[in-house]
Amino acid sequence: MSQPLFAQSAADLARRLRAREVSATEVAEAHLDRVSATDPQVGAFLTMPRDEVMADAAAAQAMLDRGEGGPLCGVPVGIKDNISTRGVATTCASKLLENYVPPFDATVIEKLRAQGIVCFGKTNLDEFAMGTSCENSAFQLTRNPWDLDRTPGGSSGGSAACVAAQQVPLSLGSDTGGSIRLPAALCGLVGFKPTYGRVSRYGLIAFGSSLDQIGPFGRTVEDVALLSEAISGYDHLDSTSLDRHPIQTNALKSGSLRGLKLAIPDQLMTDEIQPGVRATFESALDLLRKEGVEITPVSLPSIQYGVTTYYIIAPAEASSNLARFDGIRYGLRLEGEGHIGNVATTRGEGFGHEVKARIMIGTYVLSAGYYDAYYTRAQQVRALMVQEFESTYRDFDAVISPTSPSVAFRLGELKDNPMAMKLLDFCTIPANMGGFPSISIPAGLSDHLPVGLQLTGPIGDDERILQLAYALEQALPPTPSPAMG
């Protein structure tokens, strides 16, 4: 094969590793070299523990030699830096956790290690996963490999950029309101948020616990499906884990588009969608119609309150989750006057602006006087939204829409307009509200920048959503990788 190792899909690498055409060490070295060549420009990784990576690769090769390991044995996977890794710093891109080294592995990391998948460095994010551009990281900017003046999206921007720049074939992100799907769309990748509870959250540093979900990024649906299988399944350490088998991939390629029924909500086709994104999305729909897909506009009125509702529920949960960072139990510890002074100084210095703003909003909407007016109200709207989606699923296989209303925007462009930044998530938030499986796949380019198409389905239908995404991917024009170094 003439393609360099770093440009190959995870599925191809896995096959070649199993066939002894390459070793896990060669694969790891090729990707480390690629990181050295491209990451000074991209800035995807916060930590690259080369010794641990090579040790993991050697362990994977030993498994392959014994005929053991999972289907992705020996394949490198980038890890978002809010997923706990034993012995390797896990910072959430926050000064508060700058020197925190977890004494345990998240369940997803344990699963990767057990199957010989190589944990390949920790990727940049918006601090505590709060943001849409990666610009809220306390440590560095991450740039979009398609155009280095633009954002990769967020909050899992590092995990998207490293796959788009071919530094790794796969990575893990987390998605609370769109943080896997939106950066996937902006970087021309496949990004999947599985059903809430199908992938354990144990060891994912919590943001909005009722919304958070770990999921994969890849350059093809097949690669994303393989990693979904590797990380999913019941976990007794996560009280919201679903008692289901891991996500199966055996029927991935046997779906057909003919007769497929997709609903397209009017409320997701608003004027907020950039004309170029709309045009690319609509030409993708035309291709799908030619393949026999029926696409029907529907109305899901509560979607218009999605962003507002999310910005009550997510900060409420965040304010409670982030209370644990008090300078006593984890990370940074600064001195002030007395106990309260210590806590105030640590949190005052340790958290960035966006995190503090969310803690204040969250504390406000949960306070005795306002709880019913805001939090209870938001939960009612959330329930309504879930009902509307569930009744749509009775008549349709899935809901389709653009993933992001815009292509990748310029770094700094929305810095002074937090409202505009937050509105970018209006297409992705409903799936988190309902815990629905939702995937973004590349739909084509607009002005040389990628546009994403999103499919969302009923709870537990992860296999079906992946199967539909695979069929759609075959019908759509292939998205190239950005030209880099």
By the criterion CB under 6 A, which residues form the site for ligand GLN? 129-132, 155, 175-179, 207, 314, 425
SS3 call for 214 = strand
Based on the residue annotation, tell me whether 290 is a catalytic residue of this protein.
Answer: no
Q: How far is the CB of 184 from ligand GLN (least distance, A)?
A: 12
| Residue 30 C-beta: closest distance to ligand GLN, Å | 31
Distance CA 393, CA 261 (A): 10
Closest listed residue to residue 156, CA positions, set 66, 47, 265, 44 = 44
- C-beta of 128 vs 396, nearer to ligand GLN: 128
Least Å distance between CB 359 and ligand GLN? 13
Q: Cα–Cα distance between 182 and 173 in angstroms, integer?
A: 11
Please answer whether residues 389 and 399 qualify as being in contact, where contact means their C-beta atoms are separated by less than 8 angstroms: yes
Q: For 322-424, where are the alpha helices, taking DSSP H only?
A: 338-350, 353-365, 377-395, 418-423
Catalytic-residue membership of 84: no
| Cis bond upstream, residue 401 (ω within 30) | no
CB of 43 to ligand GLN, least distance (A): 19
User: Where does residue 19 rank: exposed (0-12), middle (13-18), buried (19+ CB within 10 A)?
Assistant: exposed
Q: Are 135 and 142 in contact (CB under 8 A)?
A: no
Catalytic residue among 84, 179, 241, 404: 179
- Look up residue 364 and give its two tokens: 């406000």
Scanning the structure block, which residue is given the tokens 């993708």? 284
In the numeric block, which tokens belong to residue 208? 């909005």
CB of 130 or CB of 378, closer to ligand GLN: 130
Is 155 noted as a catalytic residue in this protein?
yes
The residue (of 425 and 461) whose beta carbon lies closer to ligand GLN is 425
Q: How far is the CB of 154 from ligand GLN (least distance, A)?
A: 6
Closest-by-Cβ residue to ligand GLN is 179
132/200 with CB nearer ligand GLN? 132
Structure tokens at 206: 């919590």
* Sign of torsion over alpha carbons 44, 193, 324, 236: negative
Q: Are 438 and 193 in contact (CB under 8 A)?
A: yes
Q: For the chain, how many helices (H) and strands (E)? A: 15, 11
Give the nearest distance from C-beta 314 to ligand GLN in angstroms: 6
Q: How many CB atoms lie under 10 A from the CB of residue 55?
A: 13
Residues in Cβ contact with 110 at an 8 Å cutoff, skipping those fewer than 6 apart: none
- Is the Cβ of residue 77 or residue 130 nearer to ligand GLN in the bound state? 130
CB of 368 to ligand GLN, least distance (A): 25
The smaller minimum CB distance to ligand GLN, of residues 224 and 314, is found at 314
User: Residue 37: exposed, middle, or buried by beta-carbon count in 10 A (0-12, 13-18, 19+)?
Assistant: middle
Judged by beta carbon, residue 179 or residue 446, the one nearer ligand GLN is: 179
Catalytic residue among 155, 171, 232, 401: 155
* Catalytic residue of the set 80, 95, 111, 422: 80
CA distance 265 to 321: 33
Q: Which is nearer to ligand GLN, 130 or 161 (CB)?
A: 130
Tell the smallest beta-carbon distance from residue 356 to ligand GLN (Å).
14
171, 159 contact by CB (below 8 A) = yes
The CA-atom distances, in angstroms, between 435 and each of 10, 240, 406, 458, 464 are 27, 11, 24, 9, 15
Which of 71, 172, 80, 81 minimizes the C-alpha distance to 114? 71
Residues designated as active site: 80, 155, 179
